[in-house]
Chain A
Amino acid sequence: GENVEQHPSTLSVQEGDSAVIKCTYSDSASNYFPWYKQELGKRPQLIIDIRSNVGEKKDQRIAVTLNKTAKHFSLHITETQPEDSAVYFCAASMFSGGYNKLIFGAGTRLAVHP
């Protein structure tokens, strides 16, 4: 089955710096890669996703890149702000049979210091 590795487990940056979180997946059939942000005690919230027919996607300060050959994808946050502090989870799934079974990474705890 699918396995997702996520690095680093913790990341500390100064406000205004960039943050990069990397994930690798094992199942080459996976075709959907969302990223979720989870604040303490809150629900995971989708911040960006990418499908396997796209190599890069950007939404304001957030971008995601996908390398299907190497089976890895990354989240890039530019101009970080203290409110970006949270746990970020990557996930991978293969859309099959009309549904996605998301396999999550272990998470990255991002701390943005003013």
Chain B
Amino acid sequence: NAGVMQNPRHLVRRRGQEARLRCSPMKGHSHVYWYRQLPEEGLKFMVYLQKENIIDESGMPKERFSAEFPKEGPSILRIQQVVRGDSAAYFCASSPPNRALEDETQYFGPGTRLLVL
């Protein structure tokens, strides 16, 4: 059973370009979370999605950032017109679709390390 997959693992962009980060949850998982980790810091919640729905985007910057989780295919975190401050590791996590607290463990992907030049 494959774990959470993310690609690319490393992404270099110049200021003003777009960055697209992909996350494929574990098989059978329908809940996806995105977190950002700045160097030497903890992880910060960005957004929580279910298939075709954004449930909680309270941690997303208001501009340039968007996320989706289509019916088919991976979840995408999109950053438009990147700036140097966007350089960070972006992790996604997935959890199963059950409603019990005991089933809400989040499993993290390997992350995408974005470097903006």
Contact = CB atoms under 8 A, between A and B. Distances in A.
Contacts of B52: none
B31 interface: yes
Given A31-B101, A102-B33, A104-B43, 20 more contacts: A6-B42, A34-B105, A36-B108, A43-B109, A43-B110, A43-B111, A44-B43, A44-B91, A46-B105, A46-B106, A49-B105, A99-B33, A100-B95, A100-B106, A101-B33, A101-B58, A102-B45, A103-B45, A106-B41, A107-B42
A1 to B, nearest CB: 8
Contact of B55 (A36, A99, A102): A99
Interface of B: 31, 33, 35, 41-45, 48, 55-56, 58-59, 91, 95, 99, 101-102, 104-111
Contacts of B43: 44, 89, 102, 104
B99 A51 contact: no
Contact of A99 (B44, B56, B91, B108): B56
Interface string A69-92: 000000000000000000001000
Contact of A46 (B56, B59, B91, B107): B107
A114 interface: no
Given A101-B48, A104-B44, A106-B42, A95 B55 contact: no
